[in-house]
A = this chain, B = another copy of it.
């Protein structure tokens, strides 16, 4: 992650919630110090702890923090994932934004880990898509990695992906690949979406770096994979759910890309608790 870019994003998230000031904390607190900790309310994989910490550094550098886990760790209900100490006002002002980020990133990491485990085939890598929440792609892709997944291309500018619509508009896979190869330098990969064995073969001949099997069943994949020579990677995408992912075990494909990892996230629940006994 680019920390300068991260700071810009976190700054915006804080501005969104705090607006022109935290009316409640500003009218209740003077300079009271307090302690708080964050506890998992359910089991899963934690992700976003360093981001959580950075949010408080931006909000008030006098807040100190100690994390008890690392991104990618499994946690169970009741685990304290971090402790913090500092002025009561910023501790409470930052709570919601920090938890919103932690819960979302941990939800994605947990889902990814669950997908990897359910698939149960380490020769196949699970990866994300561009179906991320607008504005959160850098964080969501980090959460996928924390959960044991891999990242597909980041955006439209770091790899070529010839989808059905592009190919249709061009006339053929061959022509589409040719045009991109004529324009692209040597550091850009070209992936081609295919829907039949004939298209797989055409993509191979055209010189694709990666071949995607769109909405293919495990059985179809098993037929397509042998058509692809070593050195060209394969990816299955579309129509894969938590219910069906295990059926892709042993299919021989290199990557499964899963939109639901990021477009339909179940937040992993965490709470921040202030220690009441402290001298506030």
Contacts and interface: CB of A to CB of B under 8 A. Distances in A.
Interface of A: 1-5, 9, 11-29, 32, 34, 58-60, 88, 92-93, 96-97, 99-101, 103-104, 107, 125, 127, 130-138, 145, 150-162, 165-166, 168-170, 176, 179-180, 182-189, 191, 210, 231, 233, 235, 254-255, 263-267, 273-274, 276, 280
Given A107-B264, A157-B18, A157-B19, A24 B131 contact: no
B189 A131 contact: no
A28 B133 contact: no
A256 to B, nearest CB: 11
Contacts of A176: 28
Contact of A134 (B4, B29, B101): B101
Given A15-B5, A100-B263, A162 B20 contact: no
A11 B153 CA distance: 21
A176 B29 CA distance: 10
Copies in the complex: 6
Q: What 6 A-B pairs are tightest by C-beta distance, nearest first?
A: A19-B157, A27-B183, A158-B158, A13-B134, A135-B135, A22-B156
Nearest to A135: B135
16 contacts: A4-B59, A16-B155, A17-B156, A20-B137, A23-B158, A23-B188, A27-B179, A28-B170, A32-B169, A96-B131, A100-B263, A101-B134, A157-B158, A165-B273, A168-B280, A189-B189
A148 to B, nearest CB: 12
Given A17-B137, A88-B169, A152-B186, 19 more contacts: A2-B19, A9-B134, A12-B134, A13-B134, A16-B134, A16-B137, A17-B130, A19-B154, A19-B157, A22-B156, A23-B184, A23-B188, A27-B182, A150-B185, A151-B184, A158-B159, A158-B187, A165-B273, A186-B255
